[in-house]
Chains A and B, each alone.
Chain A
Amino acid sequence: MIDPRKNIIKERLESIKRIVAVSGGKGGIGKSIISTLTALILKDDGKNVGLLDMDFTSPSTHIILGQEKLPFPKEEKGIIPLNIDGLSYLSIVSYTQDNPTPLRGEDITNAILELFAITRWGNLDYLILDLPPGIGDVLLELLVLTRKIEFLLVTTPSSLSWQTFIKVVRLLKEQNIPIIGALLNMVNSSTYGFEEKIISSGVRYLGKLDFYRDLERYIGKPDEIMDTAMVKELKDILEDVL
């Protein structure tokens, strides 16, 4: 008994130049905001960009993009991602709307397999993956399904995020998965030495993003957010690496 879906994934991802997964382990460190802004920045730079929201319990990227509801993607010999703000976009929200979707690990594994097998991304310069918190089924299954992937890591200057950050780093390094680098997010007054900690973990330190007290006002307004100081900071950080 063979599951034929696994076999087609390589072909489905062939037309994508770089696949960048945004992770860091802990929840609430800014993975979703950073992955969405990264996608928008690259698109504004003229690139073909896809964004896949892989957080099935707390999908967030559609809210950042100002989409309360999402239609079904079109079917054309597979699934054709939505076009949201110029991004090739896919989220489970198209299928669940805002209903609770209590998935066990096994369900998550199956859902990811299905999504990767039937989605036709077409030619992309970048596919950005917004991962959920945790070192669980999503991250692990992703590494089962493809090795054509690089990680952009995020952490906050907190000992609580650090514990998980360092576990993710160890896991990825043990499996020789490329790490683009790490971004220190939500920096208030002090970085509490986390810059040095990142460097000594053997990961490239990309820079820091301040804590923006009024970020909430820009959630759902992608055009306005692109004019903020936060996006400017992020652009500078990403310039050299993406």
Chain B
Amino acid sequence: MTAPTLDLTAVAPIGFVAIGALVVLLAEVVLSRRKTLLGRPVTDVWIGAVLAMIASGFLALALYASAHAFWADTSAVFQLERPMLRLDRLAAFVTALVAVASLLVCVLSVTYLAEVRINHGEYYALLLLATSGMMLLAGSTDLITLFLGLELMSIPIYVLAGFDRRRLRSNESALKYFLVGSFASAILLYGMALLYGTTGHTDFDGIRAAFPAGNPLALTGFGLLLVGFAFKISSVPFHQWTPDVYEGAPISVTTYMAVTVKVAAFGALLRTLTVAFGPFAGELTGLLWVLAALTMLVGNVMAVIQDNLKRLLAYSSIAHAGYVLVGLVAGTPEGHAAVLFYLLVYVFMNLGAFAALVALANRGRDCERIDDLAGLARSRPALAGLLTLFLLALAGMPGTGGFIAKFMVFKAAVGAGYVGLAILGVLTSVVSVYYYLRIPVAMYMSEPGEAALREESSSGERLVLAVCAVVVLLLGIFPGAGPGLLAHVRALEWARQSVALLY
């Protein structure tokens, strides 16, 4: 019996984030006991800022680790005998993306938490724990780690959704997420059990090798696994919790959920489909086709009748899941690269849109209704402009990353012969334009209402908005190598490299 050989680089990002969670918890305890520190009074906001900085620091480390892994182009596994976690380029890409998104959400949350008076240090700890779960999810090559990653991601988010304990809507959000989530977990688990039972393996390579294609039990297991993923990426018809949960949760949490969960789940789904079910995945396209079509259709159509911004963005995120699925339907390396690129853009444009709402939350009140934004262009022109930019990106207007993302996805679909799906995609995009445009209508073309919105953004919010705007534009204008310094920013190339090793 030999001691297992461990390669810590594979778990470095997760490790950093997990340690970060512990440090945050400790720091919170230490800080909240003191009245003054270095001669300055210790306030809640200050504590929050410090904790956010700590969290951001660890996330930055995780980002560095994953970026390093990406450039090193090694396929590090935690232990050779039983590789349950792999930090290859795909995992590094998703991990980095999740880290960036979490980092931005941390920065974004400081003022907001104080503003809605839920400024507790546990927030950052939970956020980091969930992030570590996502990272695990992204790299897992075994059903066990997949499951644990999923749960490690979900459980803190259940809590975060209900973080504003005094608000009934927040409670309800958490409860619904929890109920539907654990139900979905059970289904997923049953699927895993059946897969294990029919193949005798829980690792992806083993499943791939032993998958009995004609066995109905195996297929059932596969289907149940797929349902679990479909729930996480909120694909129709497993999406209904999304608007309720997004609406009820505090906006910063909604932001976090909307961007990171989807990225991690799609990353894992991508790996699962290509690695564990590679040869079989082709038979899946019909099913994915239907899911993608339904998701685009229902998400976009339902968003049309929403008056609540969070709810609208929730349906919009459902719709975007549909577009990402189009890339999966294509099933080609190109399609998978398009999926990753879409996720990259999606993170920044959605984060930007939510950040704008975060920056408007005022004295315990979220900025929720479209009407609340009336006349915003005059009171906060820069914010209105940025929000418009993000919405246009979400709508897929050229010049923004949203366009390139959709373009790549549809290109992959057309290339694989799924023209009908591409046409459905563009038609539903037209519908999406309608509801995205309602928001600029309120901001630019309506007289100010009586909604009391915050008049000043904090520097953290500004930073997040600026980063998102720059990235969205950059990805829109130079998705490949740009001139000068931008020559090294080759997002499309990265996406392609990330999926290259899967086949």
Q: Are the chains A and B members of one assembly?
A: no
Which A residues form the contact surface with B (CB < 8 A)? none
